[in-house]
Amino acid sequence: MTSACAVRVRGVVQGVGFRPFVYRLARANTLAGWVLNAGEGVEIHLEGAEERVNAFLRALETEAPRAAAITAIDVEARAPTGLHDFTIRESLRRDRLTARISPDLAVCDCCIAELFDPADPRFAYPYINCTDCGPRYSIVLGLPYDRPNTTMRAWAMDALCAGEYHEPSSRRFHAQPVACPACGPRYKLTIAPGAAREGRMAADDVNSGRAANFEAIAHAAALLSDGMILAVKGLGGYHLACDAANADAVLTLRERKFRKEKPFALMVSDLENARRLADLSLDAESLLTSPARPIVLAPARVTLPGVAPDNGDLGVMLPYAPLHHLLFAADAPEVLVMTSANRSSEPIAYEDDDAFERLAGMADAFLVGERPIARRVEDSVARSGPLGPVILRRSRGYAPGAVAAIPVERPILALGADLKNAITLVVDGQAFVSQHIGDLDDYAALRAFRETIDDLLSMYDVPRDELLVAHDAHPQYYSTLYAVGLEAAQRRQVQHHRAHVASVLAERGAWDAKVLGISLDGTGYGDDGTIWGGELFVGSVRGGFERVAHLRQAVLVGGDAAARHPAQAAAGFLAQVDDLPDLAEAPFGFPRRFADSLRMLRRAVRAFRTTSMGRLFDTAAALTGFIRPVTFEGQAAIWLEQQARTAPAADCYPFPFADGELDFRPLLDRVAWDRTRRREAGEIARAFHRGVARGLADAAEALCSAHELDTVVVSGGVFQNQLLLKDFASLMGAETLKLWTNHTVPPNDGGISLGQAALAALEA
Ligand SMILES: [Zn+2]
Ligand SMILES: [Zn+2]
C-alpha cells in the first residue's frame, strides 16, 4: 500500500551534504518524491510503501552526515500524488531565513584519500572539498548557501567540477566551494623582501605551472625546516608558523609578535604525533579529531623551549585544511607552532592586503591562497575537564552554530562583555553565537564587533528596529555604549554574573529550574556599582536571580591595573589580614608597588570595592611567588594552578562561610605563614585550591539546604581552573546535589552573551 508524507527537518542541515544524503536514502528505499532546502531547514516529500517510509525516517536520524545537527523532524501524512521518481529541487527563498549556516569543517577522509592519490584530478590540490567537509561560514557572503553567495563566486567551474556538482550521486553534489587545479583558486608563495635565502628557488619559480600549488607548499615546508617564520593563510585567517622544536625560531616569533609568555598552539600531522606531545584522555582525543578540530589543551609530555613557558599544558591541534596535510606531506617540521597572525592582542589577520601590511617584519614569507576569507574565524580552544568537555574559545568549527533554543518570538541581539567578546543573535527562537571577537578595548576588535553584528543581522534578515538588545550593566563598556547608540525597539541590561549562570541554564533549556548559581571571575559590574566577581545567587532564568552570598569585600587598588600586577591586587586583600610577615623581605620579595598600593588604599585614592575571586587568586599567587606583572589575562591564576597540580592532595586552608560571606582572611593568613615556614610552593597552592573548594562547598550545602535546592550551577572565568572544579565537585556532596557547568559556550566571558539573551528573553 502506498503512503505519502511531508517531512520537515530542522537544525544544521544546509551545506552539510544533507540533500544528497536524503536523495540516496530515498533511492535506496525505492521511494518517490523530492527534497529541497527551505528557509527553515530541509523539506522532504515521500511516496512509497509504508515500511519503506518508516525505514527511511529511522535512517534519516541515525545515518545523517557527520556535520549535520538535527534539532527536529516533523512528519505529516499526505495524500499520494502518484510520483515515480525522487528529485532534488531548487532552493526556495523565503522571507525569513533561519536555515543555519554551517560552521567550517575539517577536510574529510575521502577527500584526503583523493588528495594523496596521484591519479586523482585533485591530487595535491589545497582547495579540495566535498559536501561532507570544507569551508562554510568563512566563505558565506549571504543566504541561501549557494555558490554565488560565497567567496568562490569569482571562479567558474570547469566540466569536471560542474559534472560532480550537478550529479546527485556524487559526493560533490551541490558542494558550493567545489574546485580543482584547472578551474579553482591556487596557493602562492611570496618571500618577504630581504628574507630570501640563497641557494633556494626564487619564489617566482614555484608559483607557475600546473604543479604550482604543491611546489609553493613544498617550498614553504622547506623554509619552515630552515627555521623561518611563515604567514600561512588558512580557513578563517592567517597563522604564523614555525618549527616548534627550533628554540631560536620560537624565540624570534615571540619577539616579532610582542608575545612574551602566552602559550603558542601547536599542529602535528596526526593523532599518533599528538599523543607523543601530550597526555590525551579519550575525551581529549575525540575533541581533537572532531570535525571542528579545535586546539585541545592537555598535559605536556615533552618540553619545547619557549612554546608554553611555565605551563604544564600544551595546546595541540590536528590539520584541518587540505593545505595543512600537504605541508606535513612535504616534510614540514614534525611539530609546528601555528599561532594567530597578529601582534599581541589584535584580532587575527584574514584579508591579504591587511596581512601583508600588518605582518610585515613578522613573517619571512607568505603562503597565500587566492580564495578570499569572508570573515575572520580564529581557531577554537577546548579541553576535557573533570565534568566533561569545556570550550574555552568558541570559534572555527563551532561558530555560528545554534547553541540553544530559547522560547521567544522576537529577535534578540545580546552583545556580551568587553573581554573575550562574542555576540548572540536569537532568531525564531534559535540562539546563534558568533565566533570569538576579542577584547573590545582594541580598536580592530571593536571594528570586528560592529562588523559581526552587521554581518549576522543582514545574514538572517533581522530588522534593527524589531530587536531587543541585551547588554552588560557596566555603563562604560564599549558594548554598552554601542547598545545605547543602536536604534533598537528595546534595550535590556543584564548583570554580568547572572548572565554567566544563565548561560549554563540556557545550554540545557532549563528555564524554570531553581538553582544555586555560583559565578566566579575577575571583574563585572555589580548591582551596587562595585566590582563583583565572587557571587552566589538563588533563582531561575524566568524568576530572576537574587544575590544571596559573596566573597568578603576587598579593595581593588588602582582599578584595572590591579589585574596586571598581582602584588597590587594583593594589597587590596592583605590590608585586611592582621599580623602578616614582612612581605618586602624574603621569601616574598614583594615589589615597591605593594607598599605604594597600601598607601593609596589608606588614602582611598583610586580604591574600588570588590568581591573579585580572580583577584583573590592573584593575591594567593603573589604570596606563593608570582610577583612580576602578568603578560596575559589570568596568567597568575594559571601559574598557581600549575604549581598546585604538581603537589599531592593535602590539607585545606580555612575559607569559612558565614552570614552570606566567604571570608578570605584566614585563607591568606595561612598561605603567608606557611610560605614563611618555607613550605613548598606547590603544597601551598594545593592547600589554597582545596580550601577555596571546601569553602564554596560549605556555602553550597548551606544555601541549598536553606533554599531547598538540589542543583548547583557554576560558571565564570575562575571555573576554567580544572583543579578547583574537580575539588569542588568532589567536596560539594555530589550524591545529593547536581552540579551543572558550561559545555557548549565558554565559562569565561565568551559565554556571557548567551546568558544575556536568555535573561532578556525570559526573565519576568
Ligand atoms: Zn570531503
Ligand atoms: Zn574544476
| pLDDT of 15 | 67
- Measured in Å, residue 404 CA sits from the centre of ligand 1 at 28
DSSP line for 366-419:
EEEESSPPSS--PPPEEEEETTEEEEEE--TTTTT-EEEE---SS-EEE---SS
- Measured in Å, residue 128 CA sits from the centre of ligand 1 at 7
Q: What would the grid cell of residue 564 be?
A: 596586571
Q: How many CB atoms lie within 10 A of CB 92?
A: 11
| pLDDT of 155 | 97
CA distance to 237, 394, 453, 475, per residue, from 446 (Å)? 17, 18, 11, 17
> Predicted confidence band at 213 (pLDDT cuts at 50, 70, 90)?
confident
- Measured in Å, residue 318 CA sits from the centre of ligand 2 at 27
- Measured in Å, residue 178 CA sits from the centre of ligand 1 at 10
- Measured in Å, residue 132 CA sits from the centre of ligand 1 at 5
| pLDDT of 11 | 77
pLDDT, one tens digit per residue, over 232-241 is: 999 999 999 9
| pLDDT of 174 | 86
| pLDDT of 19 | 85
What average pLDDT does the segment 411-438 reach? Answer: 95
| pLDDT of 34 | 94
- Measured in Å, residue 65 CA sits from the centre of ligand 1 at 11
- Measured in Å, residue 545 CA sits from the centre of ligand 2 at 57
| pLDDT of 211 | 65
pLDDT, one tens digit per residue, over 429-439 is: 889 999 999 99
> Predicted confidence band at 369 (pLDDT cuts at 50, 70, 90)?
very high
- Measured in Å, residue 284 CA sits from the centre of ligand 1 at 23
Q: What is the average pLDDT value for the chain, to the nearest integer?
A: 92
Q: For the sheet containing 69-78, what is the strand order?
A: 69-78, 2-12, 41-49, 32-38, 86-88
- Measured in Å, residue 114 CA sits from the centre of ligand 2 at 14
Q: How many CA atoms lie within 13 A of 534 on its CB side?
A: 25
Q: Flag whether the pTM goes above 0.85.
A: yes
CA distance to 172, 457, 592, 630, 693, per residue, from 744 (Å)? 30, 22, 43, 29, 24
- Measured in Å, residue 134 CA sits from the centre of ligand 1 at 7
Q: What is the number of the ligand closest to the CA of 129?
A: 1
Residue type, 687: A
The alpha helices in 556-714, defined as continuous H runs, are: 566-574, 592-602, 613-624, 635-645, 665-676, 681-707
Q: How many CB atoms lie within 10 A of CB 368?
A: 19
What average pLDDT does the segment 177-206 reach? Answer: 76
Q: Is the pLDDT of residue 623 over 70?
A: yes
